[in-house]
Chains A and B, each alone.
Chain A
Amino acid sequence: MIRILIIEDDAAIREMLARRLVLRGHAVEQAPDGEQGLAMIRASVPDVVLLDHGLPGMSGWDVARALRADEAFKALPVIALTAHAGEPTRREAMGAGCTSFLTKPVDLKALEKELQRLVVPTEDR
């Protein structure tokens, strides 16, 4: 089981992703914007963050930068999710401190692979 936080403003996409990840046996929490997402991470650190780019207020990249600026979350894996496929966006995401990059519509198989790759398997907490 991996503990995942989804930060995504589109409720339909967020809930769909959450339910499909739960079906795969993960623990999922959801945040509709960057501020709430950061607050939730500070309250309880997940194993991985799924981060949408186009968030209201703080953008996804802002959230990634905020995480990287904080010593406690420097190593927290962040998978960027964006509707913009393409190299410039990927570079922006990586530049902001994201660990990985997937385009929407998210291929759950690819996502699962990324989760397994990024999250060091630890004993269930």
Chain B
Amino acid sequence: MIEQRRASLAARRVNDAAVVLGCFVGYVAVFYPAWSLLGPNAGTLTIVPVMAAGWLFGVAAGIGATATGVLLSYALIARVAPDPVTILLNNSLSIVAGFGIGGATGWVRQVLARLRRQTRRLEQRHARALLEAGLRKAAEEELLRVNATLEKACDEAVRASNEKSRFLARASHELRTPLAAIQGYAELLLEESELRGAPPATLARDLGRIVEASRHLTGLVDELLDISRIETGRLEVQLTSVDLRSLIEDVAAMMQPAAAVAGTRLRVDCSADLPWVRTDPRRARQVLLNLLSNAIKFTGEGDVEIVAGRAKSAPDEWAEIEVRDTGPGMSVDEQRLAFEEFWRGRSDKPGVGLGLSIAQRLCREMGGSVGVSAAPGAGAAFVVRLPVAAASADAQGARA
């Protein structure tokens, strides 16, 4: 009886050892390949196969180990009857262990994978941040460099432009002195010969031409000087209240001889309520002279009319002086280009193409404007707008 119990105890120990050994071998054999196959780099879904494999092989290993234990205990201690309770217990223990280890492995694996993924994401983000920082820095440096180059180029361009304007100013000043001598001596000779009696007709005419040409040249030099002043911002206007009517009549009277020579009929039409304007009289005169001489130049035998009055849209704010001609007119493109520096259109008339450009800048400088409306073959109309003088009525009253 005692021997029988000893044998039964030994058989149960062998059985237990076999079960533990079987479980261990089973797990190592199954999980190692499964672990490396569905390694930590695999996706989230791999938790399911890993756990399933754990459970499956837990069950298999439990059954296998139990069977081994039963067989071993029979072989070693032949006469001991297998205890069904022990067999069942061992078996279920193995199965529960298999389930537990399989699930735990899958869970650990998933946690590890998630950690890995997070680490990787952080690493990537860090790398990207580093890269972006590097790129941004490089881009900023490049931007600074390009900016510096551009600024340098811009400075150089401005310097060159200023240099050009200074040269223009100097050159036109230097040109004026000999011109003054040429014009002055031609006039002197004319005066002297007139004083001695009637000079020969050819002499008077030739001297007159020298005077005329040098006056023209002086005018061109003055235009260059004006442009250089405008470009260097040194053009100043002196705004005062000006009697527009007398200014227009003066200008028309000045241009009358030239109009007569060209065969142009020049008429002035100032409205009765023509206001005083706030402007620089010398510059306003220059603008009107330019528009008139252009009109006469392009019209030849025809009509040029100066129409002045208050602007219809804002009669209390603006006075408008319109110079209308019956000349060849202008296309839309020509109207657009007319105020460009050095633009001369298809003109074969003398000039350097600065007059209108200067007129426009002068008008702007005086707080006014100049515009053109024209059509090919239908003449042109240039309109100058000047602000009405604030004390217009007083000034007129003072004068009256």
Measuring CB to CB, which residues of chain A are less than 8 angstroms from any residue of chain B? 10, 12-13, 16-17, 19-20, 23, 83-88, 104-106, 108
Contact B187 A83, beta carbon cutoff 8 Å: no
Instruction: Give the CA-CA distance A85 to B235 in the complex, in Å.
Output: 11
Residues 172-191 of chain B: 1 if any A CB is under 8 Å from the residue's CB, otherwise 0? Answer: 01001101110111011001
A-B contact count (CB 8 A): 51
Given A16-B185, A20-B191, A23-B191: A106 in contact with B225 (beta carbons within 8 A): no
Give which listed residue, B173, B179, B192, contacts A84 with CB less than 8 A.
B173
Contact B173 A105, beta carbon cutoff 8 Å: no
Contact B192 A104, beta carbon cutoff 8 Å: no
Contact B184 A20, beta carbon cutoff 8 Å: yes
Measuring CB to CB, which residues of chain B are less than 8 angstroms from any residue of chain A? 173, 176-177, 179-181, 183-185, 187-188, 191-192, 195, 214, 218, 222, 225, 229, 234, 236-238
A-B contact pairs, 21 of them (CB 8 A): A12-B181, A12-B185, A16-B185, A17-B184, A19-B188, A20-B187, A20-B188, A23-B195, A83-B173, A83-B177, A85-B222, A87-B237, A87-B238, A88-B236, A104-B176, A105-B176, A105-B179, A105-B180, A105-B214, A106-B180, A106-B184
Top 10 closest pairs, chain A to chain B, by CB: A105-B180, A16-B184, A104-B180, A83-B176, A12-B181, A87-B236, A105-B183, A20-B188, A83-B173, A23-B191
Instruction: Give the CA-CA distance A59 to B324 in the complex, in Å.
Output: 47
Contacts A19-B192, A85-B225, A104-B176 aside, 6 further interface pairs with beta carbons under 8 A come to: A19-B188, A23-B188, A23-B192, A88-B234, A104-B177, A105-B179
Instruction: Give the CA-CA distance A86 to B225 in the complex, in Å.
Output: 10
Contact B188 A10, beta carbon cutoff 8 Å: no
